[in-house]
Every structure is written in structure tokens, then in C-alpha cells.
Amino acid sequence: MIADVGDYSVWNKPYDLRSQGSKWGDHCTVVRWAEQHLLPERNGFTVHRLDRAASGLMLIAHSKRIAAALSELFRERAVQKRYRALVMGDFSTHANPIRVETPLDGKDSVSELSLLEVSHDRKQSLVDVAIETGRKHQIRRHLVELDHPVVGDRLYGGENVHTVDLQLTAYFLGFTCPVSGEPIEYRLPDEQLQSLP
């Protein structure tokens, strides 16, 4: 857990833990895990999703009122979301930053990608990603469109099949707190983010 505000909490979801339940139930979700480990115990409500294969910050509401308020912030695109991705290839061949606006599944999709570092030896780049929309697998699909699949992406990576987990982490969330009304930011420490050796 990163923070417990009472009416909502912020968690660092690990790789392979689901954001929401499937047709078989929700016993393997970050929400269920939070409900079982919070003191005092509280119900949990999903207000946004993170790919099962991705890791990083997730908000969980603990009241229906706050769930509705946080969901509205996401719907209105009033939540700043930033990700760190380790990608294949030399990303310095693109404008920095580069804005990708390719629609996904018939819906507007906007990602802004900025190069942080390149390893010519490893043929990999470290990229910072800000998204305005939150379409299914948006970052992964936009990066594949640019011929830079995320390292460890078993779904979109093509020959980029590695034994490592997907190297994509949601490291920053910024929004107006529905409890206090004040702007608030949550950020994972740098040592928990992808890096190039």
C-alpha cells in the first residue's frame, strides 16, 4: 500500500494481479487483496483498470460516494497518469516528445511519449508515457505502431518474447482529492521503476 486516505487507498499493483474480476470471480484481484489486508477492513470498489501484465499505482475506493467521484475524474480525463516503459530499439529516431493519436477500437486514443535514455548495446530505450485516454492496451499498442514494443510484451511484442515480465509501470497519479478538495499526487520511487543498466 502506498497511501490510505480512508475513503480510498493507493496500491502498487504487482505484475499478473488482476485489476478486476473475471467470469470466474474476483478472488485474484488487487481490490480483493486490499479488502483482506486493510485495517480497519473496508469494501473496495474498482475505479480504473491497469493491464494484468502491467504493474504500478492503482486507486481503490472504499465508499460508493468516493467510487463515483473518482470514476467521474477518470471519465472526465481529470487524472494525470504517467508510465515508465522499457522498449525495444532506439527511440531517439522519433521526435521528443512524440504524440500518438491513433484511434483504438473506434475511440480517440492519445499518448505522449518522451525518451529518457537509450542503450545502444542492449538495443533498448527507456520511455516516459503520459496518456490522456485509457483504452485497452493503449500504451502497448501505440508503441508497437511506432515499432518499439514493450520489453516482455507477450501479446503485442512479436519476436520480442522474453523471460522477463512486461516492462511497463504506472508510476504517477495526480488529481483533485475528492475527500479534501486539494490537488494531490502519488508517485512510485525511482528505485521501483524500470531502468537501463
Active-site residue identified among 26, 51, 108, 165: 51
Q: How far apart are CA 91 and CA 184, in angstroms?
A: 31
Residues 6+ apart with CB under 8 A from 152: 53, 160, 162, 164, 165, 166, 167
Name the pairing type of β-strands 8-13 and 98-100. Answer: unpaired
Local structure of 74: helix, strand or coil: helix
Burial 103-113 (b: 16+ CB within 10 A, else e): ebeeeebbbbb
Active site residue 90: no
Give the catalytic positions in this structure: 51
